[in-house]
Chain A
């Protein structure tokens, strides 16, 4: 592993240090972020569709609310499972520390789940007017719910790679990528061709912006900080996560962008569905690599 501060003249070698603690936040946390992106993303997409294509979106209130409810429950389940003392989860609500993004995020996610439950009930009862009133607040709350993980990562002072401006942009874009992809697959015959194309545009543009940010960090990040340079070595050259990183970038961003363009020119819904499927699967890899590589950095 290259590190630019190792001087040949010193030939310094660590001959005794305890092993790194290993991966502290494993794939459970990846699943947490992935499921949360979908759970909040479909809410954003329904919000857009209700305004741009109300005739299609009217039939999607219940399926969207159920999808969001299921994925937010998956997110919370994996959050709980990742704790070493899951039965003490209640401490967060009784001894909260308000400087912690984990504590604030837990409150918001709990409120979000409560509102989603209400949405499912209202959609099931076909009370569209009441649904839309609650839905506005759910959409607004979905923004900080999807962003709080970026704040949590930013609070990890040890992990230089995770900076709040880029991570918050990536969290929102992950929600719009996965939300539009999930909605394309979920919509089926309920969505008109125009509504699907709107979702395709969201998917393609979100993928483009997210890809630009990752590439910017890949190229320019190492120029700013030694720790970022060291971290990036894990996804460059023969790095252990190089393949997974590029597979994720191609599956989530590059191929879906091309497929969205092709689907517009050929008016093919099958290509759009393929783009959506690839983006959903690839996003897990993208998130996982970005979660793991800063944890490999030697701290001592």
Chain B
């Protein structure tokens, strides 16, 4: 079994329901996110369009975070999930530096690394991840990539030629796919980032301890 995620960006409407569900389910502290939705505005007024891209851990088959972790706090589960043991983590932040997707952060409450685990605790109880349940338009498709009859496998088959992963050149083999993504939504360097040009400018951040 290799669990994977697929987000159909044609369907996503940026409601952030998945983000909130994730926060509540996993008690993600203020100023940190396991899952978040990025907005990118494209075009020039009045011909403008807003794209929405949910971003979470890609659960790579060849995960740089797992490789760099000195104490195996980041480890693979049999179902392909890259899980984290917060009791084992020493907080070296090597994983934060290694992840090409910016999906890992230092939890300001526990002072350890944290990230999306595809809600591994729910999967263990045969439940879907919280973000999948919360999505009102079923843009999040979750399932077994090894099972040709699973929803995610069928979706990939149906949308062949329009399935992307983030940063394929890194060789991480992400188990997280997008349908309908483009350079603007998936490449962080393809968009301007202007100071003060954000819907929420005053994002509260908590110190993560020490001199960091």
Contact = CB atoms under 8 A, between A and B. Distances in A.
Interface residues of A: mostly helix, strand, loop or mixed?
Answer: loop
B93 A25 contact: yes
Interface in A1-34: 1, 3, 5-7, 10-28
B158 interface: no
A92 interface: yes
Contact of B90 (A13, A22, A92, A295): A92
A88 B55 contact: no
| Most chain B CB within a 10 A radius of its CB, from A22, A92, A158 | A158
Nearest to A3: B189
| Most chain B CB within a 10 A radius of its CB, from A85, A92, A102 | A85
Contacts of A14: 38-40, 191-193, 198
Nearest to A84: B91
A155 B64 CA distance: 7
Interface residues of B, number: 60
A84 B38 contact: no
Contacts of A28: 211
Interface in B72-108: 72, 88-94, 96-102, 105-106
Contacts of B37: 16
A156 B189 contact: no
Given A26-B212, A106-B70, A12 B191 contact: yes
Nearest to A8: B44
Contacts of B211: 26-28, 81
B71 interface: yes
Contact of B111 (A7, A84, A91, A230): A84
Interface in A91-108: 91-92, 95-97, 99-103, 106
Contact of B67 (A3, A91, A95, A155): A155
A96 B200 CA distance: 42
A194 interface: no
Nearest to A153: B97
A226 B169 CA distance: 11
A299 B55 CA distance: 11
B33 interface: yes
B137 interface: no
A122 to B, nearest CB: 32
Given A26-B211, A102-B94, A226-B189, A15 B70 contact: no
B210 interface: yes
B69 A100 contact: yes
B127 to A, nearest CB: 27
Interface in A33-84: 81-84
| Most chain B CB within a 10 A radius of its CB, from A3, A14, A25, A92 | A14
A103 to B, nearest CB: 4
Contacts of B126: none
B70 A100 contact: yes
B161 interface: no
Contacts of A298: 102, 188-189, 193
B47 to A, nearest CB: 10
B36 A17 contact: yes
Given A11-B42, A13-B197, A16-B198, A300 B188 contact: yes
Contacts of B72: 95, 97
Contact of B203 (A19, A21, A82, A84): A19
Given A14-B39, A14-B193, A96-B71, 7 more contacts: A11-B44, A26-B211, A83-B92, A85-B90, A88-B90, A91-B70, A97-B72
**Top 6 A-B residue pairs of the complex, sorted by shortest distance between their CB atoms:** A84-B91, A299-B102, A16-B39, A157-B64, A102-B70, A103-B70
22 contacts: A3-B190, A12-B184, A12-B190, A13-B197, A14-B198, A15-B199, A16-B37, A26-B211, A28-B211, A84-B106, A84-B112, A88-B90, A89-B90, A100-B67, A100-B94, A158-B97, A158-B101, A158-B102, A226-B189, A299-B102, A300-B102, A300-B188
Interface of A: 1, 3, 5-7, 10-28, 81-86, 88-89, 91-92, 95-97, 99-103, 106, 152, 155-159, 226-227, 230, 295, 298-300
